[in-house]
Every structure is written in C-alpha cells, then in structure tokens.
Amino acid sequence: MPDLSSLPVTITDIESAARTLKPYAVRTPLLSSPELDAITGGRIFLKPELLQRTGSFKFRGAFNKLSSIPRSARADGAVAFSSGNHAQGVAAAAALLNMRATIVMPADAPRAKRERTKAYGAEVVLYDRLREDREAIAREIAGKNGATLVPPFDDPKVIAGQGTIGREIAEDLTALGVVPDIVSAPASGGGLIAGISVAVKTAFPDTLIMTAEPDGFDDHARSLKAGERQPLSTGGGQTICDALMAPMPGAITFAINRVLLAGGVTATDEEVGRAMAFVYRELKLVVEPGGAVALAALLAGRIDAKGKTAVIVLSGGNVDADLYARLIV
C-alpha cells in the first residue's frame, strides 16, 4: 500500500472539502439494479452524479476551489475553460459566492451546456476546439481582469472536491458492511478518478480503481501502461463523449493516478449509447455520453464484475435532447 499522505491530495484535504460542500452539494446515493446484477453476475452499485447540482460532479470541485479564494480577491471574478460541465459548475459556484465568472467554451459544445452556463450568470467566450488553445485564451482573460483561473481538473482544491464522491462511496458501503472489489469512473483530465481513488483507497486499500474512456481517446489507459503522461492521439477521430476529450492527463492528477490506479478500460460510442438507454430504461434517469462510459465498459464485459462488488460512477447528465433521443432508441 503506497503512502497516501505523500500524495498531492490527501484524505485530510477531502475531509475539508466535504465540510465546505456540505451546505451546498447534493449527497448522491448509491443505486442498485437487479437487472444489472443479473447481466454482470456481480453486485453493482451506481453513483449517480447526474443528480448533483448543475447535473454533474463538477460542481463539487468548482465550489471547493472558489470557496478557497480569499474574499479580498473574489471581486475580480473567476475564469475557467470547459466543454460544459466544469463551465456550469464554476458558473453556479460563482453565483452562490456572488462572484463574476467568465467561461471559455468550445463552439461545438452541446447547446444545453452553453445555455445552462449562461443561465447561471456567466459570460461565455467561444473558441475553436481544433485551432485554438482554450487554456491560453483563459489565461489571457484572467491576466487582463485579475481574475482567478479555475482549472477543470489539475488543481488540488478541485481534486479534493471531486474526492468527496469517493468519501461518500466509502461511507455508504461501510454502513452496508460491503467492501468493493472495483471502482470505476470516467476520465478526461483525471481529477474525478484521482480524488475518488484517494478516498476509496484510504478506506479500502485492496480495491481496484480503474479509469473508463471513449474508444480511441484512452490517453489515461496508455499513460498508466507507459508510466508517464501520454497525449491524446485520436487520428482526427471524434466521440459523442464530449466531456472526455482533454488533450492529456493532468500533471497533478497523474501523480496520484499512476500510484493508485490499476488500469483503464474503454467503450465505443455504440456501447455508450446502449448504456445510456439502459439507465433510462431501468433507472428512469438521464445520463450523458461521457457520464455513461464506465457503465458501458461494464456492460461490454471489459470490467469483469462476475462474483465481485463494483461501483460505477455516472458522472453527469447534461446532454442535448436531440442527441439523447437518437441514442436511447
């Protein structure tokens, strides 16, 4: 068992984030499905962060980060770059803290995510995902305005906020007297799985933690195999999992993930669509493509849960209605 106290984010940081978030964030439940257990041959729990404030886990990290900004600096506002879920998390957190927020979003982000971000009161600046550098644009805005930059994943406060998901998983399973064999969550920059892994490994040292990514966008799985960060290499391909397209695992997130994670799995867009349809049919819930990729990998047999207990994180539910309607038929 590695020394968890030496990692960039510790359980102490996550406990502090939990106290900060308690009055504001939803404590999402663990759900089970007899149908899912029958299909997999295991005991499966789903963590539906689509029920979280703003419809994804991102609110947790965003609010924890913005809350850490000194009150004297909050008048200068916050700047973030995101394809949508972090955008909404930062916008909602800023509104609660009476701060201005500017969000740099790709022009091809789902309309629902762009509109919801604006509805929370944020200013949205669009960029070309293929030709422009979103982080450079955000840093330029922050430099001009004196605003605080809120990274989507590679920040200790953001990671600690996401880690409260793992803390809740550990607490709820402990109350049930259950020890998980596997925990899997979607990965883009790696902040979600990094925070979860610290909390879960603190409670259950032998649990296997695995990333889930879209097929062809598996920079985390490749990085874990290589032992160093690997850039996204899609060959110009696309995926419906718009939330999972970060160009490379974060430096801070990978410093945690390379120590605590067991590996990664992938799912195709078709498999993701089937997983979304399963959640709609069996649980009557809406999960977005990126939020369903870990469940898709489970249903496709790439996560072997037969005779085991597994926790699958459904990380968000923000999806355009027309795309959703096409995918769940």
Tokens of 115: 């509109």
Q: Which pLDDT value is given to residue 33? A: 96
Please name which of 250, 241, 245 lies closest in space to residue 293, comparing C-alpha atoms. Answer: 241
Burial class (CB in 10 A: 0-12, 13-18, 19+), 299: buried
d(CA 258, CA 215): 20
Q: Which pLDDT value is given to residue 237? A: 79
Q: Please enumerate in sequence order all residues whose Cβ is within 8 A of that of 290, keeping only pairs 6 or more positions apart, or say none.
A: 186, 188, 214, 241, 242, 243, 244, 315, 316
The strand ranges marked E within the chain are: 31-32, 43-48, 78-81, 101-106, 123-127, 148-149, 182-186, 208-214, 263-267, 309-314
3-class DSSP state for residue 246? coil
Q: Which pLDDT value is given to residue 193? A: 98
d(CA 223, CA 230): 5
Tokens of 84: 């949508």
Q: Which pLDDT value is given to residue 175? A: 98
Tokens of 126: 């669009």
Q: Which pLDDT value is given to residue 219? A: 94
Q: Which pLDDT value is given to residue 109? A: 83
DSSP letter for each residue of 16-70: HHHHHHTTTS--PPPEE-HHHHHHHTSEEEEEEGGGSGGGBTHHHHHHHHHHTS-
Q: Which pLDDT value is given to residue 260? A: 98
Q: Which pLDDT value is given to residue 235? A: 63
d(CA 67, CA 157): 9
Residues in the chain predicted with pLDDT less than 50, given as ranges, are none
Note the pLDDT tens digit of each residue in 216-225: 999 999 999 9
Tokens of 142: 């922050």
Which residue bears the tokens 């974060």?
250
Whole-structure pTM value: 0.95
Q: Which pLDDT value is given to residue 236? A: 60
